[in-house]
Amino acid sequence: MKKPVSKISYIKETTQENDVELAITLDRCNTMIKYHPGNPIGYLKRGTTLCKTGDLLAAISDFNKVIEIDPNIESVYFLRGSAKMYAEDRVGALADFNKHIRLVPDYPPAWFQRGCVKSQMGDHQGAIDDYSKTLELDPRSDIALINRGQDKSDMGDYAGAIADFDRAVEINPNFEGTYINRGATKYRSKDYQGAITDYNLAIALNPGLKIAYINLAYVKSDAGDLPGAIAACNSALEIDPDYVRGYYAIGVIKCQSNDFIGGIEGFDNAIELDPENDLAYMGRGMAKLSVGDRDGGYQDLKHAADMGSQEALDFLRAELN
C-alpha cells in the first residue's frame, strides 16, 4: 500500500498583485497592443501578466507573438519556458530554457527552472547539475539548495541531501519547506527521530501546514507510536475537515496496526471526498481482503486499476492468474 510522496516543491513568489491590479495591467497592455500592434513589448507585458492570472495558454500565445515580431528578445524564452513548465509542456519548456541559457548563460533563474523541468522528467543528475550551476551564480539561493537536496534524496544520496538542507537552513532558518524536505529525507534514511524533529520545526513555523502533520503521522507510525500517528492525522483534519490526505493516512496507519475495519472507515472518508482517488480504493480493497470481503476487495482493486493504478493491476493479475 503506497503512501503519498513526501517530496514537496515550493515556488517562492517574487511579486504579489491582487486581481484589481492585474486587471488594470491587462487593460493597459490591451490598449498598447491596440495602438501599437507591431511593438513586442505590449505582448511581452501582457503575457507576463497572464502568467500571474494562471492563463498559461494565452500567455504562451503572447510570447509566441513576441518571438514572431522580434526573436532577439532574450527574456521571452525564459518567460515562455516558465509558462510551458507550469502548463506541463516539459519538452517545450526545456527547449526554451536551453535557448535562453545559450543567449544569457549567467542568469541563475534559467538554470534553476531548467533544473526543475529536468527533475520533473526524471533526470535527477541533470537537475542536480543545473541547481549546482544556479548556486555557482547565486551561492545564497536556498531554494536551489532545497531542490538539489530533493534530487539527491531521490537518487539515494541522503547524506548529500541533508547537507544541502542544512545549508539552506543556515541561509533562511524561517522557511518551513526546508524542514519538510529534510524531514522526508531523514524518514527515507530511517532516522525517525530526526524526521520527527524536523516536522515539528516546520509546524512551529507554520501551524496550519497540513502536510507536515501527515508526514509526521507516517514517521510516528513507522516508529511504533500509533496513537501519536493518529493524533497527528487528527491535527491536520482539525485544520481542514475535508483534507483527503488526512483520512487516507488514517486508513493506512489503522491497517498497519491490523485495525482493518478502522482502516476501511478512513478510506471510505477519503473516497467520499475524492471519488477518483485510486490510492484510497487500493487501500480499501486490500483492507477488505484482510477481513474476508473478497468480492468487495476485488471490486475496489479493479476500480483502482481502471483509474490507472499499476499496483492494483499487478496485484489482480497475480491473484487471478
Per-residue pLDDT of the chain (321 residues; tens, 9 = 90+): 544 434 344 333 444 568 899 999 999 999 999 999 999 999 999 999 999 999 999 999 999 999 999 999 999 999 999 999 999 999 999 999 999 999 999 999 999 999 999 999 999 999 999 999 999 999 999 999 999 999 999 999 999 999 999 999 999 999 999 999 999 999 999 999 999 999 999 999 999 999 999 999 999 999 999 999 999 999 999 999 999 999 999 999 999 999 999 999 999 999 999 999 999 999 999 999 999 999 999 999 999 999 999 999 999 999 877
d(CA 225, CA 319): 33
Kindly give the residue spans of alpha helices, DSSP state H, lying in 138-275.
142-154, 158-171, 176-188, 192-205, 210-222, 226-239, 244-256, 260-273
Q: Is the dihedral of CA 301, 302, 305, 310 positive or negative?
A: positive
Neighbours of 226 (CB within 10 A): 16
d(CA 244, CA 231): 16
Domains located in the chain, CATH noted: 19-105 (1.25.40.10), 247-321 (1.25.40.10)
Secondary structure of residue 231 in the 3-state scheme: helix
Residues 6+ apart with CB under 8 A from 182: 149, 161, 162, 165, 166, 169, 198
Residues 6+ apart with CB under 8 A from 259: none
